Amino acid sequence: MCGIVGYNGRAQAASILIDSLKRLEYRGYDSAGIAVFNEKTLEVFKEKGRIVDLEKTLPAVSGTIGIGHTRWATHGKPNKINAHPHTSGNIAVVHNGIIENYQELRDRLTASGYTFVSETDTEALAHLINHYYKDNLIDAVASALKDIRGSYAIAVLCGSELVAARKDSPLVAGIGDGGNFIASDIPAILKYTRRMIFLDDLEIASVTPDGISFYDVNKKPVEKTVKTIEWDMAAAEKSGYEHFMLKEIHEQPRSLHETLAGRIMELEGTINFEGLGLSESNISDISRICIIACGTSFNAGLLGKYLFEYLAKIHVDVEIASEFRYAHSAPGSLVIGISQSGETADTLAALRVAKSTGCRTLAIANIMGSTITRESDDVIYIRSGPEIGVAATKTFTSQLGVIYLLALYFGKIKWTINSDQMKRMLTAMKQLPSKITRILDNKEMIKKCAELIASSNDAYFVGRTFNYPIALEGALKLKEISYIHAEGYAAGELKHGPLALITKNTPVIAIATKGQTYDKMLNNIKEIKAREAHVIAIANENDSEIEKYVDDVIRIPSTEDILMPLLSTVVVQLLSYYVAKTRNCSIDQPRNLAKSVTVE
């Protein structure tokens, strides 16, 4: 996944494709490539690294139709072979998203005589389109799309035909002067046109030099509306959101969907972690887990502790990476390192210490090919896509997505959860992205509460059991981007000290969703209210009890009790964002902080 561009017109395509790809560089990528049809043959150029590296290798390429891609690896290492475009005969394909049944397609196409050279899911798509191609690219693409499961935005080049399609991954067509465009993101083509048409799911576009036609998957023509984009380039990079953080918060339905894609078989009650080296017998033998991480990733790890202990009955220690390496050891444990960047120096050093003492290591990471993923025995990718805001948001919910699945997976193997529980949990997990969308569509109460917090010097987040890590994450987010002093506490711990700090000037955000400690949480809220603090509760939408005890209630959709923390997370992210915005803070680049902390 990352950036797609396509052009069919009267100008030379290569320079337009390169220029358009450069406008997507801010999104991050690990390799880039273009394919151009030069009126006789298909020419493909790709390179690992930056677009300038690709540019240096480009000969003078002649041709007025082509496609281009910046890749951010999800299937297969970041290298030249795995870079897009992928080809099959005269067909070249660039793709964002995940083809969930790619292994099945790969087996089928290999049996039909196709040879695979890359490790990507996209190559299966190129061969599949070739398999169906007779003399019309739209027909071939439409047939191929019926065979694939998963998410995609694709641009396909075959001779003088350029066809694009989407499902669950953005794609926009642009109407230019003397040529037309396709792109995954508006900034790619904003220099060339402001007249754009947004494709909807399961739509196909045929881009010619003179126009763009749209079809559904049954090749029935579809009428589309042209929109004029008024954004400047800076606004376009953020898809019109004021900050990357807000954009990334709103990307969570899609990023979580990608995290779970192809891994959940809810009807069978099974989970598939592609390429995980831990066998069922390895997992049966695990009696201890040690999770190592920093910052937000640590908070994800702490929820992991609750989940592994509850679902798989495995004892878990969670250690701050910078402490673990000097003060702790984990003999006999499976050591799980959680790191979005995969480059955090403390986490890397701690994993090396664990490995040197004979522990098996498993990385949960976002960036494919990062140091931690290369040095760990096993890796599970969270597949969030690039995150630009320093404050981790979508990568946190994707980390949680993987951890929930992993704890369920271990529980199934250890017979600590039964098949009905498994099916129920997996069905509920599949519904989480749409529940996040509902939270994002109803932000008024969150904005109102943020205004109150914005004028405070201190704030407290409290929760019990599964909600406690989210209290820590809420406090971390708030202090990180709004510079308000904030703490997260296990609510039962308040009366052992922190309650002395609670006054009418200290707003308290109580994560009070339904679960085994709900009644105890109400008691904690009463203790807080007795000190006259303003209490904002995050609660289930159908909870009619909570409003008796608190000042404000932010209601969120209900799901399985133990999944509620993932939904509460979105609320604490938005609260922190709107507080920081009210205080006019530098949200995407908070003072003193860096996205990737590569020093100890």
> Among residues 70, 184, 206, 297, which is the contact residue for ligand AGP, using CB under 6 A?
297
Is residue 398 at the binding interface for ligand AGP, with CB under 6 A as the rule? no
Closer residue to ligand AGP in complex, CB, 193/339:
339
Quick check: 502 binds ligand AGP (CB under 6 A)? Answer: no
339 binds ligand AGP (CB under 6 A): yes
Nearest to 301 by CA among 164, 432, 369, 400: 400
The contact pattern for ligand AGP, residues 344-373, with x = CB under 6 A and - = no contact, is x--x--------------------------
Number of residues counted as binding ligand AGP (CB under 6 A): 15
- To the query of whether residue 595 is one of the catalytic residues in this protein, the response is yes
Task: Find the shortest distance in angstroms from Cβ 593 to ligand AGP.
Answer: 7
At closest approach, how far in Å is the CB of 365 from ligand AGP? 8
Catalytic one of 2, 290, 449, 585? 2
Query: Least distance in Å: CB of 478 to ligand AGP?
Result: 11
Give the residue with the Cβ less far from ligand AGP, 474 or 515: 474
The stretch among 190-198, 274-282, 333-341, 374-382 that binds ligand AGP (CB under 6 A) is 333-341
Which residue, 239, 220, 221, is CA-closest to 231?
Answer: 239
Amino acid code (one letter) for 499: L
Smallest distance from ligand AGP to CB 296, Å = 3
Query: Residues, the chain, total?
Result: 600
Q: Does 204 bind ligand AGP (CB under 6 A)?
A: no
Q: Cα–Cα distance between 491 and 511 in angstroms, integer?
A: 9
Neighbours of 277 (CB within 10 A): 11
Work out the number of other CB atoms within 10 angstroms of the CB of residue 366: 27
| Nearest of 134, 320, 138 to residue 217 by alpha carbon | 138
Nearest residue relative to ligand AGP (C-beta): 295
Positive or negative torsion for Cα 401, 402, 407, 408: positive
Considering only residues 31, 82, 340, 558, which one is a binding residue for ligand AGP as defined by CB under 6 A?
Answer: 340
Selected from 64, 341, 397, 506, the binder of ligand AGP by CB under 6 A is 341
Distance between CA atoms of residues 437 and 509, nearest Å: 22
Torsion of CA 289, 295, 300, 306, to 10 degrees: 60
**377: phi then psi, degrees, rounded to nearest 5:** -70, -35
Minimum gap (Å) between residue 439 Cβ and ligand AGP:
19
**Catalytic site residue 2?**
yes
CA distances from 16 to 41, 62, 178, 179, 258 (A): 19, 12, 13, 11, 30
State which of positions 430-489 bind ligand AGP (CB under 6 A). 480
Closest CA to 88 of 156, 148, 147: 156
> From residue 59 to residue 98, what is the string marking binding to ligand AGP with x (rule CB under 6 A)?
----------------------------------------
* Per-residue binding letters, 569-598, with ligand AGP (x by CB under 6 A): ---------------------------xx-
- Does residue 392 bind ligand AGP (CB under 6 A)? yes
Which residues from 275-294 bind ligand AGP, rule CB under 6 A?
294
Phi, psi of 462 (to 5 degrees): -130, 150
Q: Binding ligand AGP by CB under 6 A: which of 295, 385, 469, 565?
A: 295
The tokens for 7 are 């052009």
d(CA 404, CA 301): 11
Alpha-carbon distances, residue 484 vs 455, 538, 552 (angstroms):
9, 20, 20
Instruction: Say how many C-beta atoms besides its own lie within 10 A of residue 212's C-beta.
Output: 21
CA distance 347 to 325: 9
Q: Kindly list the residues in this chain that would bind ligand AGP in the complex (CB under 6 A).
A: 294-297, 339-341, 344, 347, 390-392, 480, 596-597
Active-site residue list: 2, 595
